[in-house]
A and B are shown apart, each in its own frame.
Chain A
Amino acid sequence: MSRLDLLIVGAGPAGMAAALAARRHGLEVMVIDDQPTPGGQIWRSVEQAARRDDILGPSYVEGRAVAEAFRASGVIYQPGAQLWQLEPGFRAFVSRNRQAQVIEAKAVILATGAQERPVPFPGWTLPGVLTVGAAQILLKNAGQIPAGPVWIAGSGPLPLLYAVQLLRAGGQVAGYLDTTPAGQWRAALRHLPRALCASGDLAKGLSWAAMLRRKAPVIRGVIEIEALGDGRIETLRYRTADRATATVEANTLLVHEGVVPNIHAALSLDCTVAWDPAQDCYAPIVDRWGESSQVDLFVAGDGAGIAGAKAAQLRGELATLRVAVKLGSTSEDAAAVAARPIRRKLDRELAVRPFLDALFRPRPQVFAPADKTIVCRCEEITAGEIRALASVGRPGPNQIKAATRAGMGPCQGRQCGYTVTRIVGAAQNRPPAEVGFFHIRPPLKPVTLGELAALHQPAAP
């Protein structure tokens, strides 16, 4: 295949918006995505889920028109494709239908979105414990809900929204363990005026909370949770800041403590990242168009810092505008004019963020799991094992990885990376920004030796 103008990784809000903009500029653009259908996580299965529109609500349904336009735009769309290596220049190595392929492009937009922040606690690996996002995906993708009353533990807009969707769908909430630290609203308050100017999102959130309180027990100030059971969760134990431990029967537990950008692809190309203290995560440093420290490599959407679906679409459009300038299909001036209204809308979308970030800042226990807690789900390495090594000789996360195998499994540190950084930081009295993160090596997603070998040309090393 000839060299594309633009390769977009991810078919969520940012990726689809970037692709639509690219088609408007006449660029030859391909979108690869690891899901089977467009929409990303926020609009997962939006093309097929019509019968669940009432449950999922209007901001989900909005995605259907976007997906339709995306399909009709003339973009080359490759679903079910996993990017496993990206080389500068660019060459993207992708696995699809168990075949490796090479895609060359002049520019790349990473629109890889977010994942839920890993929340390690004792028992989080037991069947029956899932993330809230996972449960919502099951609702969108398969129209299914927990069979019995479900416990929800966490903080943020998503668990509230899911609880409301679940109740609308006829599901039952056994209890809602709100882990938002008490008093955090005070820190959030100073961001409230700006947030109020922005949108109706806050009112929506308040109405969700009100509905939930009418239908389910809400326990506030939960600081620790533990899942117990033999082969699946049977019991849930939790502790609140002001009360003793409670132990309850549980067969499903959903957890959520916010989302963090998917930065593995950016890290693998050594894009400069910076610690975002408000969102407790790393995010690639990008300019006002979304271009990273690597020339012609852009990051759009939540992958560049959490800002939500609407902002993601706007950031996707901005990135494409800049790509179009660089490839000569529009002028600097025209792009500047076109960017103005997009940036205005983006500012409005971003206005609510500082308030949400401050209000739903994860409780400190998320970053300091008890010694017995498994931190690396793949290699089954506990917090205690990491902690014991972290205080000897001042190792960084990569030395911890080498010494313990934490981060060496198939998930490539996606579930343990931040926890390792935090435990190392706590043991050595260093801020996470200084501790750093795992060195991300290919493959970004597992690929078979057979697929890789098929790319061998006898002239190689």
Chain B
Amino acid sequence: MFRKLHEPEAGALTIDIDGVPAMAEPGESVAAVLLRQAEPWSRLTPVSQSKRAPYCMMGVCFDCLADVDGIASVQTCLRPVCDGMRVARQIGKRTIGS
């Protein structure tokens, strides 16, 4: 859906999105990386399981929620990437303790 304007330079890092490695750069948000993937969405809603993707990128819509490093319901537009981060799209209602 989105593409980067430049090739990643030195310092590029890799994060894992649902088991698929994804290239990222320091300073960018997890949501930005999600929007470059072949499956550019972040969650299925807990109400009707409909697909949502980052929408506002400024922390006010909560459609970019995903599981980051084992913690559910993280606003990925506010979370900078770091190397080795594990991101899982959030599927419907989260389960207790996840």
Co-complex (A, B): yes
> How many angstroms between the C-alpha atoms of A143 and B2 in the bound complex?
10
Q: How many residues of B contact A (CB 8 A)?
A: 39
CB-based contact B55/A45 at 8 Å: no
Interface string of B45-57 (1 = CB under 8 A from A): 1011011111111
| A133-B57, A409-B62 as given contacts; A125 in contact with B52, CB under 8 Å | yes
Which of B6, B25, B50, B61 contacts A414 (CB under 8 A)? B61
CA distance A144 to B28 in the complex (A): 10
A377 within 8 A of B: yes
Q: With CB as the reference atom, state the residue of chain B lying closest to A264.
A: B60
List B residues 42-98 near A (Cβ within 8 Å). 45, 47-48, 50-63, 65, 71, 73, 77-78, 80
How many residues of chain A are within 8 Å of chain B by beta carbon?
A: 50
| Chain B 12-28 interface mask (CB, 8 Å, partner A; 1/0) | 00000000000001011
Query: Could you tell me the distance between the alpha carbons of A142 and B34 in the complex, rounded to whole angstroms?
Result: 11
* A32-87 CB contacts (< 8 Å) to partner B: 34-37, 41, 45, 48, 51-52, 80, 82
Q: In the assembled complex, which residues on chain A have CB atoms less than 8 Å from the CB atom of B48?
A: 380
Residues of A within 8 A of B53 (CB): 127-128, 130, 232
| Chain A: minimal CB distance from B47 (Å) | 5
Are B78 and A36 interface neighbours, CB within 8 A?
yes
From B35, B36, B62, B80, A411 is in contact (CB under 8 Å) with B62
Q: Is the C-beta of A307 less than 8 angstroms from some C-beta in chain B?
A: no
- Are A144 and B5 in contact (CB-based, < 8 A)? yes
Select A147's contact among B3, B6, B32, B41, beta carbons within 8 Å.
B3
Q: Quick one: given A134-B55, A146-B1, are A48 and B27 in contact (CB under 8 Å)?
A: yes
Q: Is the CB of B4 within 8 A of A377?
A: no
Question: Interface digits, A312-352 against B, CB 8 Å rule (1 contact, 0 not)?
Answer: 00000000000000000000000000000000000000000
Candidates A98, A126, A141, A377; contact of B32 at CB < 8 Å: A141
User: Is A378 engaged at the interface, CB distance under 8 Å to the other chain?
Assistant: yes
Q: For the complex formed, measure the closest distance between the CB of B92 and the CB atoms of chain A, giving whole angstroms.
A: 13
Which one, A82, A131, A378, contacts B62 given CB within 8 A? A378
With A34-B78, A141-B29, A380-B45 already in contact, the answer to whether A414 and B2 are too (CB < 8 A) is no
Give the residues in chain A near B41, CB-CB below 8 Å: 127, 231-232
Name the A residues within 8 Å of B27 (CB-CB).
Answer: 36-37, 45, 48, 141
Bound: A35/B33 CA distance, A: 17
Q: A146 — which chain B residues lie within 8 A by C-beta?
A: 1-3
- Residues A142 and B45 in contact, CB atoms below 8 Å apart: no
Output the nearest chain A residue to B27 by Cβ-Cβ distance.
A48
| B50 near A133: Cβ-Cβ < 8 Å | no
CB–CB A144/B4 < 8 A: yes
Closest to B32 in A: A142
- Asked if A125 and B57 sit within 8 Å, CB to CB, the answer is no
**CA A148 to CA B82, docked complex, whole Å:** 28
Could you say which residues of chain B place their CB within 8 Å of the CB of A34? 59, 78
The smallest C-beta distance from A139 to any residue of chain B, in angstroms, reads 8
Q: How far is the CA of A48 from the CA of B32 in the complex (A)?
A: 15
State the Cβ distance, B87 to closest chain A Cβ, in Å.
15
Contact assessment for A143 and B5 in the assembled complex, using a CB-CB cutoff below 8 Å: yes
Residue numbers of A with Cβ under 8 A of B are 34-37, 41, 45, 48, 51-52, 80, 82, 98, 115-116, 125-131, 133-134, 137-138, 141-147, 169-170, 231-232, 251-252, 262, 377-380, 409-411, 414-415, 445-446
Footprint of A on B, CB under 8 Å? 1-6, 25, 27-29, 32-33, 35-36, 40-41, 45, 47-48, 50-63, 65, 71, 73, 77-78, 80
4 smallest CB-CB distances across A and B, nearest first, come from A127-B53, A142-B32, A134-B57, A142-B28
